[in-house]
Amino acid sequence: MSSKLEAIGIAKRYGDTTALEPTDLTVQAGEFLTLLGPSGSGKTTLLQMISGLVAPSAGRIEIDGRDVTHMEPGKRGIGMVFQSYALFPHMSVWDNVAYGLRMRRKTREEVRTAVDESLGMVRMTEFARRFPKELSGGQQQRIALARCFAYRPSVILLDEPLGALDKKLREHMQAEIRRLHKELGATFVYVTHDQDEALTLSDRICLMNQARVEQVGTPADLYDRPASRFAAGFIGHSNLLEGALDETRGASGEPILLAAGGRIPLPLGASIKPAARHTLLVRPEAPRLVEPQSGFVDGTISEVVFIGSDTRVQLAMSDGSALTVRCERSVSPRIGDRVGLVWDPYRTTLLHA
Ligand SMILES: Nc1ncnc2c1ncn2[C@@H]1O[C@H](COP(=O)(O)OP(=O)(O)OP(=O)(O)O)[C@@H](O)[C@H]1O
Ligand SMILES: [Mg+2]
């Protein structure tokens, strides 16, 4: 079961601090949406207003079209999982998972079925009799998830649930969370400041910065078409090149940016604002190395780093800027070599802010 979630003009102030500017956000039923952003950008504040743990200063929250802004947290049909698992130390795993169901006055039989099913989902059935202190961090986090899933909320809010785990376990748990999202079919709103985690998990990402939403879109939207410099810089590695538009157009009528000592064609039909300077983004995997003078721009190789699957090459451009390119391992660039760079113009994004 899943529900559609809507925040309409939701805002939060603490005295002089604006924790969240008025924000609109819709999460579709069954969607996995991630709130991504740097520390202090308002992610937890937004999540807690959805849950009802924090009262908004303005705006409202709707679940399936029903206004729940003033409804108690326990009545909203929402489950929450936090970074600190907050399991009851004196209760067994089984009792921890059963707790919420007993509070909801379910029958013995209902409790038993739901607890067994939830423990099965997080693959912890054989740990039912243990106590929290007898479990690893990852196992405790699974129990925290099972406890939340047990009463089948239609919306599940997760605030950095994997933050305390090491990298390997975190990656394993990310795969588990994806599986559980599919299995439960509930609407998930997930908070993280880890861009890789957001790209891996999400149907859509809501990128936040300084108490407001910067951009909402699929992982590919944010990576390929970032709406701002902030978005470009926060997700993936970005090469930003500054320059002025050429008066003349290219052979097919495409606009040309004079930047990094070369002529860089922009996509045909790129929307260009009248401005003296323009910034464009090109991701490191777009350019290919070619002979000097035969690409859009030339540069001198200043650094070559082997990163396993491929090689990361740093180039010094004639205008003093630096550009990073990822090359296949079959290419063997040498420091000091002069090379040209060429790429598909549709992989160039013009940034407007
Ligand atoms: N109870 C509070 N009283 C005063 N200011 C608060 C309170 N809670 C949050 N803030 C402020 O609101 C802003 C947003 O905080 P929030 O916790 O939503 O950030 P976040 O994006 O979750 O950050 P993090 O990644 O560090 O968890 C911050 O500047 C924070 O200091
Ligand atoms: Mg937070």
Alpha carbons 329 and 256: distance in angstroms, whole number:
31
pLDDT number for residue 353: 60
Alpha carbons 186 and 154: distance in angstroms, whole number:
5
Band (pLDDT 50/70/90 cuts) for residue 166 is confident
**What are the Cα distances from residue 198, in Å, to 13, 236, 238, 274?**
27, 11, 17, 35
Mean model confidence pLDDT for the chain: 92
Domain with CATH 3.40.50.300 in the chain: 5-233
Distance 3 CA to ligand 2 centre (A): 23
The single-letter DSSP state of residue 280 is E
Q: For domain 5-233, which CATH number applies: 3.40.50.300, 1.20.200.10, 3.60.10.10, 3.30.70.20?
A: 3.40.50.300
In the predicted model, is pLDDT for residue 123 greater than 90?
no
Ligand closest in space to the Cα of 212: 1
- CB 45 near ligand 1, within 6 Å: yes
**What are the Cα distances from residue 332, in Å, to 277, 310, 326, 337, 344?**
35, 11, 12, 11, 22
Domain with CATH 2.40.50.140 in the chain: 239-351
Ligand closest in space to the Cα of 40: 1
In the predicted model, is pLDDT for residue 263 greater than 70?
yes
pLDDT number for residue 271: 80
Mean pLDDT (whole number) for 63-77: 94
- CB 23 near ligand 1, within 6 Å: no
Listing DSSP states for 308-350 in one string gives SSSEEEEEEETTS-EEEEEE-TT----TT-EEEEE--GGGEEE
Mean pLDDT (whole number) for 112-132: 93
Give the position, in ligand 1's atom list, of the atom nearest the Cα of 12: 12
Give the position, in ligand 1's atom list, of the atom nearest the Cα of 15: 4
Alpha carbon nearest to ligand 1 atom 2, residue: 14
Within 10 angstroms of residue 109's Cβ, the number of other Cβ atoms is: 8
Residue with tokens 């009262």: 55
Listing DSSP states for 47-58 in one string gives HHHHHTSS--SE
In the predicted model, is pLDDT for residue 17 greater than 70?
yes
Strand 32-36, strand 187-192: pairing: parallel
197-255, pLDDT tens digit by residue? 999 999 999 999 999 999 999 999 999 889 899 999 999 888 999 999 988 888 888 88
pLDDT number for residue 129: 96
Domain 239-351 sits in CATH at 2.40.50.140
Residue of 17, 157, 160, 162 to mutate, ligand 1, most atoms within 8 A of C-beta: 17
CB-based contacts of 195-200 (< 8 A; 24+ apart in sequence): 195/36, 195/234, 195/235, 195/236, 197/34, 197/162, 197/170, 198/34, 198/36, 198/235, 199/223, 199/235, 200/174
Alpha carbons 197 and 78: distance in angstroms, whole number:
23
- CB 255 near ligand 1, within 6 Å: no
Within 10 angstroms of residue 332's Cβ, the number of other Cβ atoms is: 9
- CB 15 near ligand 1, within 6 Å: no
Q: What is the pTM of this model?
A: 0.88
- CB 37 near ligand 1, within 6 Å: yes
Residue with tokens 């002089």: 16
pLDDT number for residue 151: 85
- CB 76 near ligand 1, within 6 Å: no
Residue with tokens 């908070």: 191
Give CA 274 to chain center in angstroms: 32
- Tell me which amino acid residue 32 is: F
- CB 41 near ligand 1, within 6 Å: yes
